[in-house]
């Protein structure tokens, strides 16, 4: 539970101490029903849907609530909200999906929903933070993702965090009037740990 200081009705209740997983400028924590209105806005942003390879369908508020409940109940997934340290604003979503607890693998998914926070290097921090969680807390061995070949900023972000290309799905996704390729990228725990040691050294 997030502890809050007593406030009057006109003030926003903010956590005294960020919980979850903390980075330098942001932290990952649980998503609450109070965040559903924001998620509803993101899920009905078709430009964002294109970037994250989501279906371009309108989503109702009830569907968003069901989505949150279903994903939080999924024992093979870990779902986080992304929050800024300074304002505690909810700006995005990060998750590990399709976790194979025997093979110790998972798929990584994330996005920054609030436009004003994109292009500021926060994506790299989100990726590094959830990689640390997946490898060091969950003892996973390999994390993978899919990204549109046309999404150059995202690809550069993932490469800077140690992801390497593993393959290409050719003309795989129908996005805004045309088929697009998607890159398969991955990173192994050993490579992540080596990069961590290099950054410290």
d(C-alpha 168, C-alpha 52), whole Å = 16
The residues carrying an active-site annotation are 158
How far is C-alpha 147 from the chain's CA centre? 13
Q: How many helices (H) and strands (E) does the chain have?
A: 6, 8
The closest alpha carbon to 53, from 140, 192, 179, belongs to 179
DSSP annotation of 137 reads I
* CB-CB contact of 90 with 32 (8 Å): no
Contacts 24+ apart (CB under 8 A), 85-90: 85/18, 85/22, 85/24, 85/25, 85/26, 85/27, 86/25, 88/14, 88/15, 88/18, 89/114, 90/31, 90/35, 90/38
Largest Cα separation within the chain, whole Å, is 55
Count CB-CB contacts under 10 A for residue 122. 21
């Amino acid at each position: 539970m997030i502890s809050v200081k007593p406030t009057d009705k006109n003030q926003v209740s903010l956590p005294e101490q960020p919980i979850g997983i903390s980075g330098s400028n942001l932290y990952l924590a649980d998503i609450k029903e109070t965040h559903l209105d924001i998620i509803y806005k993101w899920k009905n942003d078709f430009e964002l849907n294109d970037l994250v390879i989501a279906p371009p369908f309108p989503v109702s508020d009830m569907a968003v609530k069901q989505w949150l409940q279903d994903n939080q109940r999924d024992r093979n997934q870990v779902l986080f909200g992304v929050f800024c340290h300074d304002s505690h604003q909810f700006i995005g979503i990060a998750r590990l999906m399709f976790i194979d607890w025997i093979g110790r693998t998972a798929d990584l998914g994330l996005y920054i929903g609030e436009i004003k926070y994109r292009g500021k290097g926060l994506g790299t921090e989100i990726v590094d933070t959830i990689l640390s969680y997946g490898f060091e807390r969950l003892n996973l061995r390999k994390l993978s993702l899919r990204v549109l070949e046309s999404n150059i900023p995202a690809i550069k972000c993932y490469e800077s965090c140690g992801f390497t290309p593993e393959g290409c799905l050719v003309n795989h996704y129908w996005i805004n009037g045309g088929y697009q390729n998607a890159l398969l990228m991955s990173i192994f725990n050993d490579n992540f740990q080596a990069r961590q040691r290099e950054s410290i050294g």
